[in-house]
Structure 1
Amino acid sequence: MNALPFIKMHGLGNDFVVLDARQTDIGLTPEMIRAIGDRHRGVGFDQLLTLLPSRDADCFMRIDNSDGSSAGACGNGTRCIGRLLLEETGKATVTIDSPGGLLQASRADEGMVTVNMGKPDFDWRNIPLARSMDTLHVDLTVESAGTTLSDPVALSMGNPHAVFFVGDAETVPLHVLGPLVEGHDLFPDRANCSVASLREDGSIRLRVFERGAGITSACGSGTCATYAAARARGLIDGPARIDLDGGPLFMDMNDAGEVLMTGAASYSFTGEISPEMLRARI
């Protein structure tokens, strides 16, 4: 096994290791993914993004969580891969194939990247939920540490989301309640848990517990889900700024009902993963 080149990137602190397997198969295993994701003995990441060849797009983006599980969507990661491909190809717009479908990324003002994340899906079967119910007002309550979360919106943005609108997102013990939502039997594929509070100026404060990764400084698909949920409930009706721990994302929806997300996509560093480290963990 040879040393494995990688790029480290982040979107508002939601961090990624990017591997390029468009020319050579890497043969990733869950054990290798967990080894690379180890923040003490590996590189560390919220998600591992692997570029693969695609006949329908500029590349296929495989998404793996730090616990070795796979993911269907990653909005911040899509912006990062979008930046890589925009710079590599010189195009104004690139297409990224993903487990959640084809996504388009394009250049935006001030060095940011806009990604069309597609239409939100509120059908309980496609999220999926364990049983039929009104996905705009899901019959779900979790409670711990004297705090209760209830009445979420459930939807898919390529992966399952439960969005709770609360008075103050800052005060929610997300490290306790997030795992209860993620592993609830209502979500057979687990779910991302978002807590959002609307501000007087029309912006939204958001915190997310990501399925397979825990609390992250920013979650792109969670931000898209929160924006779509707020529009579906009539809480907002136009573009919105959503503030996460890592910074702001700027959200909009086109006439086709597709969610548009604009934000930063940043390089951290490049390097090589040693064969010794991978062999020790396989």
Structure 2
Amino acid sequence: MPLGFHKMHANGDDFVVVDSRTSPNPIASNLAGLLGDRNRGIGFNQIAVMLDCDDADARLMFWNADGSSLDACGSATRGAADILMRESDITSVALRTNRGLLTCERTSTGAISVNMGKPLFNWSDIPLALEMDTSVLPLAGDPAACSMGNPHCTYFVDDLSAVEIATIGPVIETNPLFPLRTNVHFVQIIDPEHIRLRIWERGGGIALGSGSCCCGAAVNGIRRGFLDNCVEVECDGGAVTVQWDGVGPVFLTGPVETTFSGIITDTLLKI
């Protein structure tokens, strides 16, 4: 039967949410790749599927536009939370992901705040190909690495305008040091509470924003001692707030909006 979807974005970081709480998950890698095509499909950076869950309001599964799967997506998590809160006229939900149980709340401004879980720093958790100190990687530019359920590599630069994201990003994404590839961040520090971030997203290319990348970039900056525990992260598409006390979970807060809703036809679902 035809499948409904919601096209949404968080500061221009666009994603699709498919509600399959009453039916089996229809999305697999090949269909995610077809739907992610901006010329022949819907077009998005990520797609999230909401499924029934015994211990949460829903379970979320995520894919990139190239059909690869991922365990975390801060923007799509906020979008799914927004849908569920509006549906039941509530201000908090819990969502089960491969990152664990993520609690989400609507703030007084209408933004969505998500507990994104604790960042991971062990080389094998990111993962990296070799055991090493993840706070300073053995790559030109001395980036730092962490995982927010997906791998992140953060460079701190003096001038973002001088960085050729489209040239450097794919080279770092596919570096053998990252067996599952990596998201790549380029950070210019405005002050300890404000950074400017540009993103090369694993499986997606240059992105206007990314919730998990904002978290990873801020976390790596806090680890290095460059940033305070609450940081405004300004991406090409807009700003979010990331909070991390250096020990516990990371909190991501920002806006989400629905662009349009539609139907995926039976013809495409059978491909």
C-alpha deviation, 1:108, in angstroms: 1.0
**Residue type of the alignment partner of 1:274:** T
Q: 2:46 aligned with 1:11, yes or no? A: no
Contact 1:254 1:260 in 2 (8 A): no
Task: Give the match for residue 151 of structure 2.
Answer: 160
Deviations 1:51-99 (A, max 9, x none): 0111221111100011111011111111111111222233332111112
Is the aligned partner of 1:176 residue 2:175? no
The reply to whether residue 62 of structure 1 matches residue 53 of structure 2 is: no
* Per-residue Cα deviation, 1:216-247 (whole angstroms, up to 9, x for no partner): 11011010011111110000123111100110
Compute the TM-score of the two structures, normalised by the length of structure 2. Answer: 0.95
Q: Give SS of 1:207's match.
A: strand
Counterparts of 1:231 and 1:255, CA distance in 2: 7
The equivalences for 1:135-214 within 5 A come to: 135-141=134-140, 150-200=141-191, 202-214=193-205
Could you tell me which amino acid in structure 2 is paired with residue 183 of structure 1?
Answer: T
Residue in 1 that maps onto 2:103: 104
Map of 1:246 onto structure 2? 237
Segment of structure 1 superposing worse, 129-138 or 270-279 = 270-279
**Partner Cα separation in structure 1 for residue 131 and residue 77 of structure 2:** 31
Report deviation, 1:184. 0.8
CA distance in 2, matches of 1:116, 1:238: 15
In 2, the alpha carbon distance for the partners of 1:95 and 1:70 equals: 21
Structure 1: any 5+ residue segments left out of the alignment?
142-149
TM-score normalised over the length of structure 1:
0.92
Q: Name the CA shift for 1:174/1:186 in 2 (closer, same or farther; >3 Å).
A: same
Query: Aligned letter for 2:154?
Result: V
Equivalent residue number for residue 147 of structure 1? none
- Which residue of structure 2 lines up, in the alignment, with residue 264 of structure 1? 255
CA pair 104-254 structure 1, distance change in 2 beyond 3 A? farther
> Greater CA deviation, 104-113 or 82-91?
82-91
Amino acid at match of 1:178: G
Please state how far the C-alpha of 1:276 moved relative to its aligned partner: 3.1
How far apart, CA to CA, are the structure 1 residues paired with 2:93 and 2:127? Answer: 29
CA distance in 2, matches of 1:269, 1:127: 35
Once the 2 structures are TM-superposed, how far is the Cα of residue 201 of structure 1 from its aligned partner? 7.1
What is the distance in 2 between the residues matched to 1:219 and 1:28? 22
Distance 1:78 1:238, change over 3 A: same
Instruction: Render the CA deviation track for 1:106-135: whole Å, top value 9, x for unaligned.
Output: 011321111111111111111111111111
Give the AA of the match of 2:218: Y
Give the Cα separation in 1 of the matches to 2:61 and 2:175. 26
Contact 2:118 2:249 in 1 (8 A): yes
Please state how far the C-alpha of 1:255 moved relative to its aligned partner.
7.9
Partner of 2:75: 76
Residue number in structure 2 paired with 1:215: 206
Structure 2 runs not aligned, ≥5 long: none
- Tell me the secondary structure at the aligned position of residue 178 of structure 2: coil
> Secondary structure at 1:188's aligned position in 2?
coil
- Tell me the percent identity: 39
- In 2, Cα distance between the equivalents of 1:207 and 1:168? 11
The answer to whether the Cα contact below 8 Å between 2:72 and 2:150 also exists between their aligned partners in 1 is yes
Deviations 1:23-62 (A, max 9, x none): 1114323221111111111111110110011122111110
Offset from partner CA, 1:124-156 (integer Å, 9 cap, x none): 111111111111111023xxxxxxxx2111100
Moved more, 233-242 or 221-230: 233-242
Once residues 83 and 246 of structure 2 are traced to their aligned partners in structure 1, the CA distance between those partners, rounded to angstroms, is: 28
One-letter amino acid matched to 1:218: G
1:180 partner SS: helix
